[in-house]
Copies of this chain bind each other. A is one copy, B any other.
């Protein structure tokens, strides 16, 4: 399956004094892209929550090779790296004009929305992640 591509336009406020997007906003981009990715696979985040589930981050890592400036049009490619019993890992690649600026990876644990306890990934969620 082709990688999901989430469009990304930096906000003016996200650009710092160095003229590039401040590092923390990349985690906001990954979050936006994750929810866009799940929705594109057929699982809007609001449905996940309505089903009594949620995700919790346990690990994330980012490697930058460039910076995003104001007015840059970019996108985030999202792919599934691994799917475990209660967790899954998504890979992210922020690209501008086909060139990668930041690669990342986040491990999400599936939890009950009410009590934040780990939950096995339901079959329908597993199926769409492994699609």
Copies in the complex: 4
A residues contacting the other copy or chain, number (CB 8 A): 36
Given A13-B16, A13-B31, A31-B13, A45:B23 Cβ within 8 A:
no
A46 — which chain B residues lie within 8 A by C-beta? 70-71
Report the minimum CB–CB distance from A48 to chain B (whole Å). 11
Question: Does A124 make an interface contact (CB < 8 A)?
Answer: no
Q: Counting CB contacts under 8 A, is A19 at the interface?
A: yes
Q: Which of B15, B23, B32 contacts A11 (CB 8 A)?
A: B32
Which A residues have a C-beta under 8 Å from some C-beta of B?
11-13, 15-19, 22-28, 31-32, 35, 44-46, 54, 56-65, 67, 70-71, 116
